[in-house]
Structure 1
Amino acid sequence: MDTQHDNALTHALAAIPGPVPPSGVLHAVIPHTSRFTVVGNHLAQHAELSLVAIGIGVHIQSLPAGSKVGIKALAARFPEGEVKIACALRELEAHGYLHRTRVRLPKGRVATRTVFCNQPGAVLRGGVVPVVGPAVRVPALAPAVAREHIRVPEPVAVAEPVPVPEPVAVPEPTAVPEHRPVSEPVPVPEHRPVPEPVPVPQALHAQVRLPSRTAPTQPRRPLPRPQALTPELRQAASALLADLRRHAEELVLSEEAVEELVPGVAAWLERDATTDAIRRTLTADLPKPLKHPARLLRHRLTALLPPPLPGVHDLAAPRRAPVTPFQTCDGCERAFRSHDPGHCRDCRAQYGEAA
């Protein structure tokens, strides 16, 4: 007894004419009496316009003449950003619904004149689209114009002439009754035939290529792997990954994530990185909140991989080349380089000739 039932919806569904479809949307149509806008299905069900462009087009069509419809004004009215609104306006402009031109004002300033066409592609005689209410007369660009927009002057009722009473003959002279003025007939305006709309082939619009909203994603670097994944390295890496949640509550990993990250930790251990150093690297400065702990650990294991430790021979000081000592010549007392004492080159040549 405490459950409320919506009887109004039941009556509205019962009033729908024809068979009710088993699925899909149902329309409970209530005629509008005030504050409504007629929107064509060519805009509401456009196959190439985005949903944002269709919504902005319907909103602009419902505004009175003189309203601000720039990017700044629409961004202040709706939650969408300026980039999304600018893309939607370009779509409407590419399909002929919106026309933006630059005009020069009397004082030298330049302003943007925005014209919205509810039926792009149609042309009337005289190049004017009839609108209801204050609007701007612009060249017509819509495929067809509804007949109810064209007001044909209604015929004016003609007053019938009042018959003039004839004077009655009497024996005695009596006053003649005054004649009533006869109303002149009002000329009836001729009915002009309504001109049929001339179909105009729609211009083929070039495909609008919207700018990419996101930067191209870089290929993900592969997870480092050791040269030989021994059972000892696998066990040490698996234990280190499973123990991370004791040091950081956010790093709770599943068994599948641990198996995936084991080769990366084994590569660190193979390069002589200590377990404390690996643990500090993986648990330091964690973002708040941490949504994907496995992805964060994979990134850190890949991007912060240390190089292998250098060997003993790599750290030894470079050996200098052996230097030949100086010797003093026994003959001329001149210095020369040699490992053994004796004579210089000139003295040896001199003593050789004498011998």
Structure 2
Amino acid sequence: MDTQQNTALTHALAGVPGPLPTSGVIHITLPHTDRFTVVGNHLAQHPDLSCTAVGIAVRIQSLPQGAKVGIKALAAHCREGEKRIAAALRELEAHGYLRRVRDRLPSGRIITRTVFCNRPAALLRPRRPAGAPPRPAKPEPAPAQAPVQEPAPAPVQEPAPVPAPMQEPAPLPASAPVPMQEPAPVPVCHPTAAPPAPELPVAPVAPPAPSAPLFVPRVPPPTAPKAPRRPLPRPGELTPELDRAATAFLSDLHRHTPQFTLSEDDVRRLVPGVAAWLERAVRPDSIRRTLTDDPPQPLKHPAKLLAHRLTELLPPAPPGVDDLAALDRPRPRFTVTPFQTCDDCDRAFRSPTPGHCRDCRETRAAYAQAAA
């Protein structure tokens, strides 16, 4: 009596058609009458999307038109953090379900629109309206020939036969294509000596241009070929001193950071990269801090991480003596005309010597000319 029996579940299992499987999931499908969203299996069973991305996609698909689907808006209603939601949105954008486009309003303001497509694969091929019949191929017109009739005596006119009444054809359904009927042959007179009719030039029909895809993802698919990795940097000349210093640096790395414990083969493979850094006058403590700072957790391949950082974070070569001399070289000075104050109107003007401004000089010249 202590075991609670769920009679509703028992009745629901009894209504499942067919024998129940001994293992695996058993679906109890109840019809929805309101508040439901149709989700395709291409999204629910996507092999490359994470479960978080699938859940975020279903969440966005269930929201009404115009709802906020930003990272902070989704994080306010979901238990996942902003980083997981941002990663899920990037996955959806990479597979074509989500797209962010910039649009300019009539007022000139630029906004970002978020577009979600429930079937991105359908946008990659042109669509045809439902129920539209396929276009029949147009027959090429035959070159017209002008028949030449020989003169003949006037024939005896015979009464023309009365044409039979034509029956109106029955209307075809709208979805069925209209069959093309060939024209009936027209009787012509056979000429005795007819010159060959000139052939009319037929312009070549250009093939239809391929229609551009309606939706082109900006992020390349995961199956796209990746760029080859850059080789490990090497010094200009691997001297014995550089080789010895780089080997000692890599062998002693595990004492400072135990996660970076390298094998002998890893040390020999990474020695040229460390020697290239030492050749560029980088101190060993700076190299150690740059290579081992903030490693991923857990660190599975320390040698690969060191090779990546040695290649991507390689500092530039130190400047030469001529470059440093150019920095110490004095810059040319430009002569700036100082400001002066006019003796008559106290206006400021630029001039190497004090005196009067231009207006005052012109006024004085006019008075002197009038007095003369």
TM range (shorter): 0.3 to 0.5
Asked which structure has the greater CA Rg, the reply is 1
TM-score, length basis structure 2 = 0.36
